[in-house]
Amino acid sequence: MSGRRTALAPPGPGSPTDPGDPGGSTPGAGSVALVGAGPGDASLITVRGLELLEAADVVVIDRLAPHELLEHCPPGAEVIDVSKRPGRHLVPQDGIDALLVERARGGARVVRLKGGDPFVLGRGGEEVQACRAAGVDVEVVPGVTSAVAVPAAAGIPVTHRGLARGFSVVSAHEDLISTVPARRDHTLVLLMGVTHLARSVSILLGRGADPLTPAAAVESGLRPDQRVTTTILRCLPEVAFSLGVAAPAVIVLGDVVTLSPDWERRLIPGA
């Protein structure tokens, strides 16, 4: 990223550029584009997303967005890394919102580069609301979501005739897992699910989920170090712990997991 300026700390809430204060600075000719970069493989970004990146003055990037895409930024573009890691958010969400508004009001073409799709568990909606409240022009460029693409990379379709007619996508950080269907014929995709995996499985089993439900953990999906681990629901926490399954990973539960080539290598302790 030679020739690019970097920054780490945006203005905080309550500053003149706080998006909650539309009466702050006068909006300039700048704009914000939320661009979904897709999961893992940098080539999965859309044509429109790449066009915006190549014309950006400022790029605000997430940890899960492919950082190789920064090579497409113009020389001199400011790159700001606001990566969030489990239990470690160096830049809070309201600070990110304020940063987008500040740079756009200063006349910059800002690209908010996010992993996957901005509107799938990515807080993109909040960032759009902040920009609109501040009178900043904002565009959303959809991306390939990890909720579907990462299972596909492991040979797992989220729907398949005779196996699953629907699917649910939830964050394992939330109690939403207690409300989704707990059936083998309805695929369940858990994002950000590694840390709370044992709790999630316990909730599902407590709700009557079949303990023999096929399960997969796909780590680093669509990257060179992708790893797929298959087992059954009741064994998933034990297997994941023993193998050191780590984020970023997508958890897939349901009969569709049996379509993965890795199902033949499933691990079932004690079997």
Burial readout 205-228 (b: 16 or more C-beta within 10 A, e: otherwise): eeeebbeebbbbbbbbbbbeeebb
| Strand-pair category, 249-253 with 186-191 | antiparallel
Catalytic, out of 57, 114, 192, 255: 192
Which residues have CB under 8 Å from 203's CB, separation 6+? 177, 178
CA 234 to chain centre: 26
Beta bridge partners of 32: 110, 138
Query: Has 210 been annotated as catalytic?
Result: no
Residue bearing tokens 């700390």: 9
The three-point CA angle 186-188-193 to 5° equals 170
Query: Has 114 been annotated as catalytic?
Result: no
Which residues have CB under 8 Å from 31's CB, separation 6+? 104, 109, 110, 136, 137, 138, 139
Catalytic, out of 18, 62, 117, 255: 62
Provide the residue type at 246 as one letter. Answer: A
- Closest-CA residue to 214 (of 262, 166, 248): 262
Provide the residue type at 134 as one letter. Answer: A
Catalytic, out of 84, 137, 185, 210: 84
Query: Has 192 been annotated as catalytic?
Result: yes
* SS3 state at 117: coil
As annotated, the active-site residues are 62, 84, 192
